[in-house]
């Protein structure tokens, strides 16, 4: 069985990420010791690749895990197992999904998009379609407990470009890359 690789696999490999098997995907477990990543995310901001999440495009509202994109356009997203309703089209492979988490996440995004991502304009569990670093993106706010977390869905072929743009924009806020092990710890 071959492992599935996100569009950022090689970029992360070059950054010496330590990989792990997550639901058949070869994803970064961590870039630096997870304890350090947790502190950095809680204090500043971190960026993780969560492309393994399942995504389905729907014309009717799903019962759970749904994001409304238009009047008859919904996206269902979540971890396995996820059971989409009849008529859903699997778009898991279409989108690279990034998780920008931490209190400075908003400041980072403000350098890349004209979208108002303030707490009032984009409250938790709300989403918007916009341009991020000159690329079409879905911005979904899904906080991890009390930590601000913004998920960015971009068409897979742009993944490396947008990852590098976000990291570049985040330098002044000490944005770090983090892996799935850190993400799991944050969720717990």
Partner 1 sequence: MNVDGIPNVRTCTTPVRDGMRVRSQNAFPSLETDFLSVAQHFDWLMPVGWYYKTFTHRAMWHAAEPLIRRAAGLGKVLNSETREYEHSWMHVDTAVVGGGWYGIQTALKAVQRGEQVALLDDQLALGGEGRYRKTQENLTPDLLLQLQTFPNLRILQDSYCFGLYEGNLLGVLQHHPHSGAVERLIHLRTQHTVVATGAYETPILFANNDLPGVMLSTGVLRLLHLHGVQAGKRAVIVGTSGATDEASAELRDAEIKVVASVSPEQVVMALGHTYVQGIKTTIGNFECDLIVVCGPRVPDVSLVAQGGGTLAWDDVRGAFLPVFLPEHISVVGEATGKDLIGTATPLPSRKRAFVCLCSDVSSRDLCDGIAEGFDQTETLKRYTTATMGPCQGRMCQLSAIRICSSQTGRSVARTGVTTSRPPNPGVTLGALAGPSHHPVRRTPMHYAHEKLGAVWMDMSDWKRPRYYKTSSTSDETDCVLTEYGAVRDGVGIIDVSTLGKLDLRGADCGKLLDKVYTHRFSELRPGRVRYALMCDEGGIILDDGTIARLSDDRYFVTTTTGNLDFVHQWLDWYLVGSGWDVHMVNVTAGYAAMNLAGPMSRAVLSKLTSCDLTPTNFPYMHCREAEVAGIPVVLLRIGFVGETGWEIHCPAESGEALWEALLDAGQEKNIRPFGVEAQRLLRLEKRHVIVGVDTDALTNPYEADMGWAVKLEKPDFVGKALLSRAAENWARERLIGFVLAVPGLPEDGAAILVKGKLAGRVTSCRYSPAQRAAVGLGWLEASQAEEGATIDVRVKGKPMRARVTMQSFYDPDGSRLRQ
Contacting residues toward partner 1, per CB under 8 A = 1-7, 10, 25, 51, 57, 59, 87, 89, 91-95, 110-116, 118, 121, 133-135, 155-162, 165, 168-169, 171-172
Tell me whether residue 11 or residue 186 sits nearer to partner 1 (CB atom). 11
Q: Shortest gap between Cβ of 185 and partner 1 (angstroms)?
A: 25
Q: Shortest gap between Cβ of 33 and partner 1 (angstroms)?
A: 26
Which of these, 137, 126, 132, lies nearest to 114 by C-alpha position? 132
Tell me whether residue 20 or residue 110 sits nearer to partner 1 (CB atom). 110
How far, rounded to the nearest angstrom, does the alpha carbon of residue 99 sit from its chain's CA centroid? 3
DSSP per-residue codes, 57-117: EESS--SSSEEEEETTEEEEEESSS--PPTT-EE-TTTEEEEEEESTTHHHHHTTT--S--
168 membership: H or E segment, kind and range = helix 159-170
Which of these, 23, 142, 145, lies nearest to 79 by C-alpha position? 23
Integer Cα distance of 137 and 97 in angstroms? 10
Q: Shortest gap between Cβ of 18 and partner 1 (angstroms)?
A: 19
Which of these, 92, 59, 63, lies nearest to 74 by C-alpha position? 59
Tell me whether residue 27 or residue 127 sits nearer to partner 1 (CB atom). 27
Tell me whether residue 65 or residue 96 sits nearer to partner 1 (CB atom). 96
Integer Cα distance of 143 and 140 in angstroms? 9
Tell me whether residue 7 or residue 152 sits nearer to partner 1 (CB atom). 7
Q: Shortest gap between Cβ of 36 and partner 1 (angstroms)?
A: 22
Q: Shortest gap between Cβ of 144 and partner 1 (angstroms)?
A: 22
């Amino acid at each position: 069985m071959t492992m599935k690789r996100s569009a950022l696999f090689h970029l992360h490999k070059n950054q010496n990420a330590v990989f792990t098997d997550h639901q058949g995907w070869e994803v970064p477990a961590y870039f630096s010791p997870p304890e350090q990543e947790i502190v950095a995310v809680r204090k500043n901001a971190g960026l993780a690749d969560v492309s393994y999440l399942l995504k389905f495009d729907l014309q009717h509202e799903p019962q759970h895990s749904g994001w409304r994109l238009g009047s008859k356009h919904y996206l269902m997203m979540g971890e396995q197992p996820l059971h989409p309703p009849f008529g859903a089209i699997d778009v898991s492979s279409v989108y690279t999904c990034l998780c920008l988490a931490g209190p400075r996440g908003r400041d980072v995004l403000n350098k890349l998009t004209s979208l108002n991502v303030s707490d009032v304009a984009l409250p938790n569990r709300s989403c918007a379609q916009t341009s991020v670093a000159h690329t079409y993106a879905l911005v979904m706010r899904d906080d991890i407990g009390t930590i601000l977390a913004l998920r960015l869905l971009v068409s897979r072929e742009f993944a490396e470009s947008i990852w590098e743009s976000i990291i570049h924009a985040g330098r002044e806020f000490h944005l770090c890359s983090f892996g799935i092990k850190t993400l799991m710890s944050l969720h717990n």
